[in-house]
A and B are shown apart, each in its own frame.
Chain A
C-alpha cells in the first residue's frame, strides 16, 4: 500500500484592515456606521483611561492585584461589539474593555479587585460569566452554554476569551474538541499578546499560528491584526453570524501585545526588552483608531474629559463601599445551607456580640456602604 496524501492541507488567513498609521484598506472596510465607530472609540478611550486609573489605585494600595489590558483594547472591543445583548460573553481575567462594554460597572470591577465577591455578580439580565482566574478553565463552560442555547432553541451565540498561554492547557483542547464535535455556536477569541507572564509565544507553542489549532478540531479559524479594531470587528462579525446561522464554532487569533505588566505583581523588565515594547507601542490600537476617526472627521470634542469624569464617578461609587459585614462570609455558600453553616454563623455572631442573621440567599445583598464596622481584634 502506498503512502497517500489526505486532505487537510491548510492555509491560515491573516486579516488586517487599518495599518499602524490608521490608513484604511477600503476593499476590506467592514462599513461600521459612524455612530458605532464613535461608540467604539469612546469605549476604547474609557478602557485605556480606566486601566491607567486602576494601575494608580493599585500602586496607592487602594485596590489589590489586577491584570492590566493596555494594548489589547481593539482585540477586546472589536470582538465583543459583534455580540447582541442576548448573546453570552465568557471572560478570562484580562477583559476589562469587554466587560465594560457588556455593562459591568467600574464600581464592580474595582470591588472585584479589592476582594469583594460582589464585584463578580452579574446583573439578573446579564448574560456574562464573571472573571475566571484558572487559565483556560472557562472555555468548556462556554461550550456548555452554547450547547444549552442550541438545546433550548435560542439563537444566542457564546463568545469566550483566553490568551496565548491558555492554548497549552488541557481544558483549551477539550473545549475546542467538544465545540467541534457538538458543532455549537461558540466563538473562541484568543488574545495572543505574545507573553504568558515570562514565557514568550515561541516557548508556548511550536505551531506557526494559534489559529491553526482550530483546524485540527475541524472548524475554521482566522488570524487578525489584534491591534486593528476594524479587522477584529470584521472577523468577529463573520464568526458570530456563522455561529448564529448554525454553522458551528470558530476561532479568532488576535495578534496583539501586552504593553504593561502581566499583573501588578509582575516585573516584565526581567524577561523582555524595552526595544520590543517600544516597537509594539508604535502599533498602539488606540492611536491608530483615533487617526482613522480623525481622517473621517468623527472625533468628538471633549471626549477625554467626559470619559475621565465617568471614571471619577465610578471610583467614587467604589470608594463609598465600607468593609463588609463579617457574618456575610456564609451567604451564598449554599442554596440550602446545611445545619453546620448555621452553627458556624451563630458562633461568629456570638463572638461579635450580635444576633445571628439568616442566609442572605437570593437576592444578594450589596456591600455595606459608609459604615465602618470594627473587626474582632
Chain B
C-alpha cells in the first residue's frame, strides 16, 4: 500500500504544481514509512518540505498556504501525535470556509498512519478517527487496500474540502494488490460492498476489512452464513444509502472498528442504520470494538482490539437473535 500511496502523490504532483508535501522526515528520508520516497529528489525541497519537529506548525502553516491557493498534503508522522495540532484542525482547517462565507477554503489533506497490530509503543498504535469524523467541515477517509488507497488519496487532493486521510499501518506492507499505471480516483463519501451476502451486513473499514473477510469466510465455512461486507472507505460523510440498502436486504448488522467502543464511529453507523432500515431489522445492531480503556501496551493488544473470534461471535449472536 506504501507504493500505491506514493504513486498517487507522484501523479498528483506531476499534474498540479500547487500540490506540495510537508511534514517531518518526508523529504530526504522519504517518510518514516517511505510513503514520500523519492519525491524530494524529483520535486525538490521547495515542494517536498522537511519541517522542524512541530505538528501545529505543519498544519498551521499549511492553512496559510491553502488560503493562498496551494494544496498542501501534510504528513503527521503518527496519528497519536496529531493532538499537538488538533487545535489547528478543529479551530481553523475545518472552519475557514464557513468563517469567511466561502471567500477562503482549506483545500488540503492531512495524512496519518493509524491503528494497531504492528507491535508499536504508545501513541503509535491507536485509532482516533472518531475525533475527526465528529468535526463538521472535515472529511475523514480510511482506505482498506492499495488500489482504493491510491484512488482515494488522489481524490482527496482534488477535493475542495480538507480531508483527514488515515492509513492503516497494518496494511502498509502487508496489503498487496495490482494498481493500474493510469491515474485513478474514487468518489469520497461512497462505501463499497466488498462482498455480497444475504444474511448479515458486516460494516468495517481500514485494516478491519481484512479481519471482516476472515470472519465472513469462517462463518460461511462453519455456519453456511452469507455475510455481506460493507467497506466504508469514507467515515465522514457517511454513506448512509449504501449502509441502509444493505441492511434492508440482510436485516442484521455488526459494526467493527479499532477505536474504543463508546462514542465511537459504531454508534453513528448503528444509529444511521436504525434510522434508515428500522423496519427491516431482525436483531439489535452489535459493535465489535476496542474496549473503553487507554492504550494497553502491545503485549496486551490482541486482548483489546477486535479479532476474528470476537467478530464471529458477535455475528453468530446477531444471526441467532
How far is A133 from B29 in the complex, measured between Cα atoms in Å? 21
Q: How far is the CA of A376 from the CA of B292 in the complex (A)?
A: 19
Give the chain B neighbours of A166 by CB distance below 8 A: 53
Would A199 and B293 count as touching, CB distance under 8 A? Answer: no
B65-104 at interface with A (beta carbon < 8 Å) = 80-81, 83-84
Tell me, in angstroms, the Cα distance from A98 to B308 when the chains sit together: 42
Min CB distance A185 to B, Å, is 27
Interface membership of chain A positions 224-262, coded 1 if the CB is closer than 8 angstroms to chain B and 0 otherwise? 000000000000000000000000000000000000000
**Judging by beta carbons under 8 Å apart, are A330 and B122 in contact?**
no
Residues of B within 8 A of A323 (CB): 299
**Bound complex: CA of A364 vs CA of B84, how far in Å?**
31
Q: Inside 8 A of A68's CB, which chain B residues have their CB?
A: none
Q: Report B280-321 residues with CB < 8 Å from chain A CB.
A: 291-294, 296-304, 307, 309-310, 313
> Contact: B300 with A115, CB < 8 Å?
yes
> Does B307 lie within 8 Å of A117, measured CB to CB?
no
Which residues on A sit within 8 Å (CB–CB) of B313?
A: 351
Across the interface, do B304 and A169 meet the contact criterion of CB distance under 8 Å? Answer: no
0 or 1 for each of A181-208: is its CB under 8 Å from B? (1 = yes):
0000000000000001111000111000
Q: How far is the CB of A174 from chain B (nearest CB, A)?
A: 11
Taken residue by residue from 99 to 130, chain A's Cβ proximity to chain B (1 for < 8 Å, 0 otherwise) reads as 00000000000000111110000000000000
Contact B28 A376 (CB under 8 A): no
Contact in complex: A329, B303 (CB < 8 Å): yes
What residues of A have a CB within 8 angstroms of the CB of B50 in the complex? 198-199, 203
CB distance from B43 to the nearest CB of A (A): 17
Whether B56 sits at the interface, judged by CB under 8 Å, is yes
* With A266-B32, A340-B292: A133-B301 Cβ-Cβ less than 8 Å: no
Interface of B is mostly: loop
> Measured between C-beta atoms, what is the minimum distance from A6 to chain B in Å?
28
Within 8 A of B (CB), among A135-158: 135, 137
Least CB distance, A299 to chain B, in whole angstroms:
37
Q: Is A19 an interface residue (CB 8 A)?
A: no
1/0 contact string of A153-189 vs chain B (CB within 8 Å):
0000000000001101111000000000000000000
Question: Which residues A318-376 have CB closer than 8 A to chain B?
Answer: 323-324, 326-330, 333, 340-341, 344, 348, 351, 367, 375-376
Report yes or no: B301 in contact with A115, Cβ–Cβ below 8 A.
yes
Interface presence of B57 (CB below 8 A): yes
- Bound together, the chains give a CA A327 to CA B303 distance in angstroms of 8
Contact A117 B84 (CB under 8 A): no
Question: Do A330 and B291 form a contact, CB below 8 Å, given A170-B56, A197-B25, A271-B28?
Answer: yes
Of A115, A170, A344, the most chain B CB neighbours within 10 A belong to A115
Give A162 Cβ to nearest chain B Cβ, in Å: 10
> Are B25 and A326 interface neighbours, CB within 8 A?
no
Q: Indicate whether A115 sits within 8 Å of B119 (C-beta atoms), given known contacts A171-B84, A376-B309.
A: yes
In residues 1-52 of chain B, which contact A (Cβ within 8 Å)? Answer: 24-25, 27-30, 32, 50-52
Q: How far is the CA of A348 from the CA of B307 in the complex (A)?
A: 12
**Chain A residues with CB under 8 A of B53:** 135, 165-166, 168-169, 196, 199, 204
A270 within 8 A of B: yes
- Out of B121, B124, B309, which one reaches A113, CB within 8 Å? B121
| Those of B156-214 within 8 Å (CB) of chain A | none
Q: Is B123 an interface residue (CB 8 A)?
A: yes
CB-defined contacts of B291 to chain A, threshold 8 Å: 329-330, 341, 344, 348
Q: Identify 27 residue pairs between A and B in the complex whose beta-carbon atoms are under 8 Å apart, listed by A's number.
A: A64-B121, A65-B120, A115-B300, A116-B297, A133-B80, A133-B121, A133-B124, A134-B123, A168-B54, A168-B57, A169-B84, A170-B56, A196-B52, A198-B28, A198-B29, A198-B50, A199-B24, A199-B53, A203-B50, A271-B28, A329-B300, A341-B291, A344-B292, A348-B303, A375-B302, A375-B303, A376-B307
Known interface pairs A115-B119, A341-B293, A351-B310; 12 further A-B residue pairs with C-beta atoms within 8 A, sorted by A's residue number:
A64-B119, A116-B300, A133-B80, A134-B83, A137-B84, A168-B53, A197-B32, A198-B27, A270-B28, A324-B300, A329-B300, A375-B303
> Top 6 nearest A-B pairs by Cβ distance?
A115-B298, A326-B303, A198-B29, A168-B52, A165-B53, A115-B299
Measured CB to CB, the residues of A under 8 A from B are: 64-65, 113-117, 133-135, 137, 165-166, 168-171, 196-199, 203-205, 265-266, 270-271, 323-324, 326-330, 333, 340-341, 344, 348, 351, 367, 375-377
